Amino acid sequence: MSVPNIAESSSSESPQLCRQFTFSEIQQATQNLDESLIIGHGGFGKVYKGTITNGSNPLIVAIKRLDSNSNQGSSEFWAEVNMLSNLRHCHLVSLIGYLDRRIDEEQRALAIWAQDSIKKGRLKQIVDTEIRESVSPKCLKVFAKLAKGCLHKHPKQRPTMAEVVVCLESILALQEKANNKPQLTIMQYFARFAPGIRSVNSLELSFDSAGGGSSVYSLESYFNTIGGENKTLRRFDLNTLIVATENFSEANKISPHAREPLYKGKLQNGLSIAVAPSSGTQHEKEYMNEASILVKVEHENVAKLLGYCIDGNRWFLVYDFAVVESLDRLIFDPECTLLNWDTRYKIVLGVARALLYLHKDAPVQVIHSDVTPGKILLDESLDAKLSSFRNATCLSINEADCFVLRICGTWGYMAPEYMLHGYLSSKADVYSFGVLVLEIITGHRLMTRGISYDSLLKHIGRNWFEGTLSNIIDPRIDVDSSSLTKFFEIGWLCVQEDAAARPTMEEVVSMLLDWFSCSPCGKNARNDYNYERQFEMY
């Protein structure tokens, strides 16, 4: 908002501050933004001629209104305000005021008032009178600390939503202890202002921030919290794991070149375990995510979390099963003869059943989002265990999909809609599963150096449509290629670019079982594989 300056011609700086106008004043000055008063257009937006009452004297002004489609934003807006409010020259327009409606004054004042009250220890006065007397002082103190952290001026110093939920659960536990009975008043009150939060479960398992900063609760407190939900979760000391893994020897390392190291070991009582070590805060949130998921799910084809270890800034997840190797180490090794067709089918069906459980039958709906051969661990019986839930996302049972800002996965296994747009649903896991099936059939990675992913898929598809599957089937599979046509079709359906065209994992499991009962390979394998047992389960 500016007026012509009729002062002397020399330039000067003035400490005078601009006045913040109300929207009603702007409406009155421009006759409710009358189009007939528009005197110009620019990159910023429209310019209106207006009349401001300055005491008893009317003042003719020009009012620029930022267009919502303008390329200019808050930084340009405030730069102009700061510059023109300090400079005065006869050939420069003089800024007399501004209005920024994007920040609601009452909300801004509320945050400042609350922060000031917390700083001065006047916590009671920020609590709604409806619940003021029911909140315990200790509970309120922790709640205020959480609110203060969320309002931190530096985004990286704010807690993540996973940390927020852990803190809220701790607050709820404090309140229940104070009242000696279940008390949901605070959570209900919080939910009034966060309608997008459907449940604690859907939040505590999903991370939408990769920022660093101090945790509201330490990693140890986090494990204590989720340990309360799963009484069998055990805490190990580091010496126990050192002995079990032979000091984390290379001989016990599974997939030596994997991004996420894993070691096999054996406890003194003879129990076989797998240990995933990490250090530093860059992976802390991912490990918290995995732990909070695995304490809630249980399936024979999903890695079972036995416990954890925290030693200074080092921490470890401990799994309860005997790992022989990861699938990628065996399937892509041309010298490996362990994976005959019956074993490959068992692995595929095991992974399919794990995903079906996670999508449909688990206490919370889990989208793994990174199903790759490296994430499939094989035990002594070569049964598949789906592992590595560090980047998994959880939805409530009634939710079908979500959009995520942080896309995590392995190139070539990520569904197009997830990789390009952050759109995540169970169909993203179906796509990854389809890639896995095609790799198990061919014995080759679909991501090969020097060959584009699309061209390799087209090569596979062309051989299928031309009836020359024998050209692409792994020669280590001693079966007639014609009997694998239906099995290949399952994998091909799963990698459709359109998510809606892909089957669900329930349909995939049904197709796999139908193929097994009808295929000659399936019939020949019945003596070696308990088909009836698998069929009873689904």
Give the pLDDT of residue 102. Answer: 57
> 257: domain CATH number?
3.30.200.20
Q: Are residues 179 and 287 in the same domain?
A: no
Is residue 94 domain-shared with residue 109, that is, in the same domain? Answer: no
Q: Is residue 4 a contact partner of residue 92, using CB atoms and an 8 Å limit?
A: no
Among 509, 452, 511, which Cα is nearest to 485's?
511
DSSP state of 451: B
To which residue do tokens 């001026």 refer? 153
**Of 127-131, 182-186, 272-276, which gets the smallest average pLDDT?**
182-186
Q: Clarify whether residues 341 and 265 are in a common domain.
A: no
Neighbours of 510 (CB within 10 A): 15
Is the same domain home to 199 and 293? no
For 240-261, what is the mean pLDDT? Answer: 84
**How many structural domains does the chain have?**
4
Q: Would you say 285 and 210 are in contact if contact means Cβ atoms under 8 Å apart? A: yes
Are 403 and 518 in the same domain?
yes
Same domain, yes or no: 394 and 519: yes
Place of tokens 């405030």: 78
* Rounded Cα gap, residues 339 and 86, in angstroms: 77
- 3-class SS string, 133-194: HHCCHHHHHHHHHHHHHHCCCCHHHCCCHHHHHHHHHHHHHHHHHHHCCCCCHHHHHHHHCC
Same domain, 344 and 312: no
More confident residue, 105 or 303: 303
- Residue 73's closest CA among 43, 97, 109, 41? 43
pLDDT value of residue 14: 41
pLDDT category at 60 given cuts 50, 70, 90 is confident
Amino acid at 189: Y
Domain match, 113 and 89 both: no
Q: Give the whole-angstrom CA distance, residue 80 versus residue 8.
A: 22
Mean pLDDT of 50-58: 79
CB count in 10 Å sphere of residue 355? 28
Taking 80 as the threshold, does the pLDDT of residue 258 lie above it? no
Amino acid at 493: L
Range from 37-41, 244-248, 310-314, 319-323 that averages highest in pLDDT = 244-248
Question: If residue 319 lies in a helix (H) or strand (E), which one and from where to where?
Answer: strand 314-319
End-of-domain residue from the set 75, 98, 121? 98
CATH number at residue 477: 1.10.510.10
Q: Please give the pLDDT value at position 300.
A: 95
Among 103-112, 272-281, 384-393, name the one with the lowest average pLDDT.
Answer: 103-112
- Residue 412 in any domain: the answer is yes
- Annotated catalytic sites, by residue? 370
* 473 within domain boundaries: yes
CB under 8 Å to 409, separation ≥6 — which residues?
A: 369, 370, 391, 418, 419, 432
Statement to judge: residues 435 and 504 lie in one domain = yes
Give the H/E segment covering residue 326: strand 325-326
Candidates 141, 130, 218; CA nearest to 178 is: 141
pLDDT band at 528 (very low <50, low <70, confident <90, very high): very low
pLDDT band at 134 (very low <50, low <70, confident <90, very high): confident
Out of 319, 344, 372, pick the residue that ends a domain: 319
* Domain that includes residue 83, residue range: 2-98
Q: Is residue 167 part of a domain?
A: yes
pLDDT for the residue numbered 507: 96
Q: Of 163, 198, 217, which one is at a domain's C-terminal end?
A: 217
Gap between the Cα atoms of 383 and 380, Å rounded: 7
Q: Could you give phi then psi for residue 122, rounded to 5 degrees? A: -95, 70
Residue 415 has pLDDT above 70, yes or no: yes
Same domain, 304 and 284: yes
**pLDDT category of residue 101 using cuts at 50, 70 and 90:** low
Is 222 within a domain? no
Report residue 315's pLDDT band, with 50, 70 and 90 as the boundaries.
Answer: confident
pLDDT value at 208 more than 80? no
Residue-level pLDDT at 518: 63
pLDDT digits (tens, 9 = 90+) for 2-42: 544 433 333 444 444 577 788 778 888 888 788 888 888 87
Residue 446 to residue 440: CA distance in whole angstroms? 10
